[in-house]
Amino acid sequence: MAFFNSSVVAIVATVLALVVCSMMAYALARLPFRGSAVVLSLIVLMMLIPTEVILVPLFQQFAALGLLNTYGALIIPHVVSLFGVVLLRQFIVNLPVELTEAAKIDGANAWQNYRYIVLPLIRPGLATIGILVFLSAWNDFLWPLIATSTPSMQTLPLALITFRSAYGDSEYGVVMASTILAITPPLLVFLFAQRFIVQGISNTGLKG
């Protein structure tokens, strides 16, 4: 059950994060509005805040919404990746403006520009953010420890601690087997897509 929970949380959080972060990045890069520079500055500043600082307010908000011990509580904190927004914005800023301008002349609206012009050109960035969000959601331990209260909602990192406590130091084989099961999916994802991480980060450039 814990493996299933971690899979659901990691996959859904990754998909939602790609949608939300790419839309936010597109708005900041190609849809200028009053205060957009301030919004970007605030996003960068918020990246400096340690996650541990916001755990208590986050717990109180989810408790008030009645979302504790649900998939929503485990998924939503991973949906907005501030680093992802900044990285994807850099990708979009580096795209030739002539591409979207030509599409506008041909009658494309903002959504069509985003869907058919921008998204295909920032696939390395999307792959990079997808990998990072997947690994973060899969390996997260502290927030699921706080947000869940029943064994049926435990993610794999929590279940491993319970599993190890139950077997102690007497069953090394069982404990090692469970550990290998936990690290295999993220390891395979990383090995499969590591070239996208390098390409994604190296292609962001310094234009802004």
Q: Tell me phi and psi for residue 138, to 5 degrees.
A: -70, -40
Statement: residue 171 has pLDDT above 90: no
Residue 207, class by beta-carbon neighbours within 10 Å (0-12 exposed, 13-18 middle, 19+ buried)?
exposed
| Average pLDDT of the residues of the chain | 86
Work out the pLDDT band at 103, boundaries 50, 70, 90: confident
Candidate from 110-119, 164-173, 184-193 with smallest mean pLDDT: 164-173
Range ranked top by mean pLDDT from 68-77, 87-96, 107-116, 162-171: 68-77
Domain-located, residue 208: no
Domain-located, residue 207: no
Candidate from 25-39, 47-61, 188-202 with smallest mean pLDDT: 188-202
Pick the closest to residue 61 from 137, 120, 143, 123 (CA basis). Answer: 143
Statement: residue 163 has pLDDT above 50: yes
12, 125, 183, 193, 201 from 188: Cα distances, Å:
18, 19, 9, 9, 20
pLDDT at 170: 57
Domain-located, residue 109: yes
pLDDT at 153: 92
The total number of structural domains that make up the chain = 1
What would the two tokens of residue 91 be?
A: 């990708």
Which residue segment(s) compose the domain that 87 sits in?
Answer: 2-202
186: domain CATH number is 1.10.3720.10
Domain-located, residue 164: yes
Helices (H), the chain: 2-30, 36-46, 55-65, 71-75, 82-93, 97-105, 110-112, 119-121, 123-139, 142-147, 156-167, 172-202
As a whole number, mean pLDDT of residues 102-128 equals 89
As a whole number, mean pLDDT of residues 100-121 equals 90
66-78 pLDDT tens trace: 999 999 999 999 9
Which residue has better confidence, 146 or 100? Answer: 146
Work out the pLDDT band at 207, boundaries 50, 70, 90: very low
Single-letter residue type at 9: V
